[in-house]
Amino acid sequence: MRTEITTVAVVGAGSIGGSWAALALAKGLTVHAADPDPAAENRLRAAVADHLVELDTEPAALERLTVHGDAATAAAQADLVLEAGPERVDVKRDLFATLDAATPSDVVIASSSSGFGPSAFQDACGNPERVVVAHPFNPPHLVPLVEVVGGRATSEEAIEATMAAMVLLGRRPVRVRAELPGHVVNRLQSALWREAYDLVRRGAITVADLDQAVASGPGLRWALLGPIATQHLSGGPGGMAHVLEHLGPPMVDWWNDLGSPELTPDLNEQLVSGVTAEMGGRERDVLARRDRALRELLALKQRVGLTDLRELAEEGDQR
Return the closest-CA partner of residue 9 out of 32, 26, 27, 25. Answer: 32
CA distances 267 to 129, 187, 198, 262, Å, are 44, 21, 9, 8
Q: Is the pLDDT of residue 309 over 90?
A: no
Q: Does residue 111 sit in the same domain as residue 142?
A: yes
Instruction: Give pLDDT tens digits for 170-200.
Output: 999 999 999 999 999 999 999 999 999 999 9
Q: Does residue 49 sit in the same domain as residue 123?
A: yes
Domain of residue 119, residue span: 7-176
* Residue 296: inside a domain: no
pLDDT of residue 315: 64
* Residue 319: inside a domain: no
Strand order of the sheet with strand 65-68?
Answer: 65-68, 30-34, 7-11, 80-83, 108-111, 131-136, 145-150, 172-176
Mean pLDDT value across residues 46-75: 96
pLDDT of residue 318: 58
3-state secondary structure of 294: helix
pLDDT tier, 317 (very low <50, low <70, confident <90, very high otherwise): low
Q: Does residue 15 sit in the same domain as residue 116?
A: yes
Residues of the chain with pLDDT > 90, as a percent, come to 95
What is the number of structural domains in the chain? Answer: 2
Instruction: Give pLDDT tens digits for 251-294.
Output: 999 999 999 999 999 999 999 999 999 999 999 999 999 999 99
Q: Does residue 161 sit in the same domain as residue 237?
A: no
* Residue 299: inside a domain: no
How many other CB atoms are there within 10 angstroms of residue 52's CB atom?
22
Q: Which spans in 86-216 are helix H?
A: 89-102, 156-168, 185-202, 207-216
Q: Does residue 123 sit in the same domain as residue 201?
A: no
Q: Does residue 151 sit in the same domain as residue 26?
A: yes
Cα separation, 43 vs 56, in Å, equals: 20
Assign residue 212 the CATH number of its domain: 1.10.1040.10
Q: Does residue 172 sit in the same domain as residue 191?
A: no
pLDDT tier, 319 (very low <50, low <70, confident <90, very high otherwise): low
Mean pLDDT value across residues 286-304: 95
Cα separation, 8 vs 35, in Å, equals: 15
In terms of Cβ atoms closer than 10 Å to its own Cβ (0-12, 13-18, 19+), residue 54 is: middle
Q: Does residue 42 sit in the same domain as residue 151?
A: yes
